[in-house]
Amino acid sequence: MEVFHTREGMQEKILRLKDRNMTVGFVPTMGALHQGHLALIECSLKQDDATVVSIFVNPTQFNRRDDYEEYPRDLTSDLQELEDRGVRIAFTPTEKEMYPEADNRVFDFGHLDQVMEGYYRPGHFNGVAKIVSKLFDVVMPHRAYFGEKDFQQLAVIRELNRQMGYNIRIVGCPIVRESDGLAMSSRNARLTNEQRKEAALISRELFDARNNMDQLSVGEVKERVIGRLNKNPHIDVEYFEIVDEHTFKPISRWQESNAQRGCIAAWIGGVRLIDNVKFSY
């Protein structure tokens, strides 16, 4: 496997691939790889002539310095996992390489970055846009793969792609879950054994709410999910919204949208987890 640490070296490799008329798939990650990442990689390996995986913990998308510092990192293990999976190209730049000088760009995604994650993590999506645009400029992929667990982020990246005129096909891949339903996340590794067991309640309540939506109003579903989860001493719900998945505007009646999605963020100890479930069938 070829591992590139500089933008220049990575770009030279990409140009050589494109000179051979090869399609390039790209999976950007922050490392601590799990089955969710590997599912994205597998999609690219099947569809593209060459797959590039980046590993970079991006400081500009963290609201809290301690969250950034505590984010799990194991580059050696990650690279071995990539090689074992058949990935032949990895991009692992340093912070100085990606941010040789301050990036003061401010993006405007309208309503998309003002609600839910945008509201509770101000500046988060601006930081995501900074690094994704930098990575797109380097890798210049034909396709880029993102998980639907970060559903709002996926929408922001699609809008970034449109605004910047990249003409990259943004591929959203389904959430990969543990056997008990917990959405796979690198942050799960920070949970204690007891917290990890309780964390499965989040997805359980989301799916239960979806299964009973015909009997309850939107308000009752929201009250039920938040109330049940907050009864657990390990869980503190930050938000639970039912939104139109195209506009991300909250709905108050089921009839307002035929593309409803329940989105949640909750704290378990010092670990913040997000998840979402499509309510409309």
Total-model pTM? 0.95
Is 2-173's fold the same as 186-274's?
no
Helix (H, G, I), strand (E, B) or coil at 272: strand
Task: Tell me how far apart the alpha carbons of residues 230 and 196 are, in angstroms, rounded to a whole number.
Answer: 16
Answer yes or no: 34 catalytic. no
State the catalytic residue, choosing from 5, 37, 124, 234: 37
Looking at residue 249, its pLDDT comes to 95
Q: Is CATH 3.40.50.620 correct for 2-173? A: yes
> Per-residue confidence of the chain (281 residues) as pLDDT tens digits?
999 999 999 999 999 999 999 999 999 999 999 999 999 999 999 999 999 999 999 999 998 888 898 899 999 999 999 999 999 999 999 999 999 999 999 999 999 989 999 999 999 999 999 999 999 999 999 999 999 999 999 999 999 999 999 999 999 999 999 999 999 999 999 999 999 999 999 999 999 999 999 999 999 999 999 999 999 999 999 999 999 999 999 999 999 999 999 999 999 999 999 999 999 75
Looking at residue 65, its pLDDT comes to 87
Beta-carbon contacts of 204 under 8 Å, excluding residues fewer than 6 positions away, are: 181
Looking at residue 21, its pLDDT comes to 98
Task: Tell me how far apart the alpha carbons of residues 21 and 39 are, in angstroms, rounded to a whole number.
Answer: 25
Helix (H, G, I), strand (E, B) or coil at 105: coil
Q: Are 97 and 131 in contact (CB under 8 A)?
A: no
Q: Can you say how many angstroms the Cα of residue 48 is from the centroid of all Cα atoms in its chain?
A: 21
> Residue 181 carries which side chain, given as an amino acid letter?
G
Domain boundaries, the chain: 2-173, 186-274
Q: 250 φ, ψ to 5°?
A: -60, 145
Looking at residue 206, its pLDDT comes to 98
Task: Tell me how far apart the alpha carbons of residues 87 and 40 are, in angstroms, rounded to a whole number.
Answer: 12
Looking at residue 281, its pLDDT comes to 58
Looking at residue 251, its pLDDT comes to 96
Task: Tell me how far apart the alpha carbons of residues 243 and 248 are, in angstroms, rounded to a whole number.
Answer: 5
**Of the candidates 174, 203, 170, 171, which has an alpha carbon nearest to the alpha carbon of residue 274?**
203
**CATH number, domain 186-274, options 2.40.110.20, 3.40.30.10, 3.30.1300.10, 3.20.20.70:** 3.30.1300.10
